[in-house]
Structure 1
Amino acid sequence: MDPARLIRTVLAAAVVGGPLAACVGGLLSPAIHENGAVSIARNAAADPLGNGTHLAMFALASFLLPLSAVGLAWLAYPRTPWLATIGGLLAVLGWLPYSALTALDDLADQMAHLPNAASYAALYDRFSVDPVMNPLLVVYIVGHLVAYVLLGIALLSADAVPRWSAWGLIVSSPLTIATFVLPGRPIAVGLAAITLIAVASVPAAWALGRPVTARSLPSPV
């Protein structure tokens, strides 16, 4: 396998594997967007195997999601270089803090299994909104939400994937926003958004992974 083919294969796997790992991790997570007291209590009551799998999937996603952004931008670049570049850079920047958010979940799990676990709730809350974590959270939210709109438009304009696939990426951002603004913060909506990204990314992964011809996938450089 030549190096260019290897790169495309890795990117194709990341394009689907990243959001899929995030989706599985989200489904198994005992607490999402909760305060310290709730997060620690739910982690203490969670099945160890399921919770361990959730952390492993989030850790895997933290590596694959930035690569998936590169793959999507790569596809769109030949015909929409500026949109692809801006969208790709925003997506990479937006997904890089995912590892810090995964570490926050791991912290809740570790606290949950210490003596007097409930006493650590205030520390968890303080850590999760401190001057380091807050900027990372803002970069994560703004970066990847804006990026999927731009990447979806770029792929649509470049005719690099079916229209439904590009629109799926675009629509995923409003769905994610709805998770935070709807009453009760329905986590199911957020999981639907990441699932939509995974499904909509399948044609992009196929385009990246298939053998290259002179007209199928020009190099962006």
Structure 2
Amino acid sequence: MNALAHQSQPEGAVPAIYRLHRLFLALCVVLGPLFALAMASLGPGYSSTKSGPVVALALTRTASATQLQISTLISVIGAYLIPVSLLTMAWLAMRRAPWLATIAMLVVFVGVFPLPAFVAQSALNWDLARMGNNPLFDVIVQRFNDDGVMSYYNAAFVVGTILGPALIGIALWRARVVPIYAAVLISASRLLVFSYLIVQSFIPAVYIQSITWLVLFIGSIPAALAVWKRPSIEQ
């Protein structure tokens, strides 16, 4: 019966499960940068020219409950979408630029998968903010951030979210699976965070972070279309 059903399919037809896979991955490609943009825009930790865990805790105390609830929900969802988005874009280049795509995947795997730890760190800030203004809380968040595990995650995350997209864009350009402008936008997007070293004294980080993720989001749209149109393995 299954063999007869399989033979009855039109020649060249793509099984529904493959279309579902491609739709899911294509949505992840664009939703990952979009949720990252929302995380940067709504997260209270970026709304000052100063940085650090103690500053983030102080800013969390001044944020509204609605902002924190929305930011937390978006961050939890984004922690799933962002790694899948970057890995899928790297996968697009695997056929024609296997080495670059593999290196990009490795960088993303090591650097971006710790993202849930930072979501948990933000949740800890929210819990402490609701408990009052105790100077001991400043010590707690600073010690937590300076812990060996979090120090490694911080360093890996910087590398993963900056070098990862840069390599992905180069791999996509080499593979010729997206327009050149999209590959350039993807590569340059997160490199723009280095401009914060120049403007950090008078421009809050939220603006720089939002611009970088917006650029990546724009570049990811052609990549998502390429994922949707990509032939299945069996074709």
TM exceeding 0.5: yes
Secondary structure of the residue aligned to 1:78 is coil
Give per-residue Cα distances to partners, 1:93-151, cap 9 Å, x unaligned: 22111111111111111100003444301110110111110001111111231111111
Q: 1:190 aligns with which of 197, 209, 213?
A: 209
Residue of structure 1 in register with 2:173 after alignment: 156
Bigger radius of gyration: 2
Q: 1:4: how far off?
A: 2.7
Q: 1:120 maps to which residue?
A: 137
The answer for the alignment partner of 2:114 in structure 1 is: 97
- Percent identical among aligned pairs is 29
**Deviation at residue 90 of structure 1 after TM alignment:** 1.2
- d(CA) in 2 for partners of 1:183 and 1:144? 19
Q: Is the 8 A contact 1:78 1:219 kept in 2?
A: no
- Conservation of the 8 A alpha-carbon contact between 1:19 and 1:195: yes
Counterpart selection for 1:172 from 189, 195, 220? 189
CA distance in 2 between partners of 1:31 and 1:219 (Å) = 44
1:129 aligns to what? 146
Residues 31-46 of structure 1 aligned to structure 2 (within 5 Å)? 31-32=45-46, 34-46=51-63
* Number of aligned positions between the proteins: 215
Structure 2 contact 128–137 (Cα < 8 Å) conserved? yes
CA deviations on 1:33-87 (whole Å, 9 max, x unpaired) are 7334432222122111111111111111110111112210221111111111111
Q: Residue 19 of structure 1 is aligned with which of 15, 33, 42?
A: 33
Runs of 4+ in 1 over 3 A off after TM superposition: 115-119, 180-183, 217-220
**Which whole-Å CA distance do the structure 1 matches of 2:94 and 2:54 have between them?**
46
* Unaligned residue ranges in structure 2 (runs of 5+): 1-14
Pick from 10, 17, 22 the counterpart of residue 8 of structure 1: 22
- Check conservation: 1:12, 1:208, Cα contact below 8 A: yes
Match of 2:11 in 1: none
Alpha-carbon separation, structure 1, partners of 2:163 and 2:108: 8
Pick the aligned partner of 1:200 from 219, 223, 231. Answer: 219
Contact 1:67 1:92 in 2 (8 A): no
Note the C-alpha offset of 1:208: 1.1
Tell me the CA shift for residue 180 of structure 1. Answer: 4.6
SS for the counterpart of 2:178 is coil
Distance in 1 of aligned mates of 2:28 and 2:113: 14
Q: Mind listing any 5+ residue stretches in structure 1 that lack a counterpart?
A: none
Task: Judge conservation of contact 1:149–1:173 (CA < 8 Å) in 2.
Answer: yes
Q: 2: CA distance between counterparts of 1:87 and 1:191?
A: 23
Q: Give TM-score, length-normalised by structure 2.
A: 0.84
Question: What residue number does 2:6 align with?
Answer: none
Give secondary structure in 1 for the equivalent of 2:45. coil
What is the distance in 2 between the residues matched to 1:29 and 1:157?
35
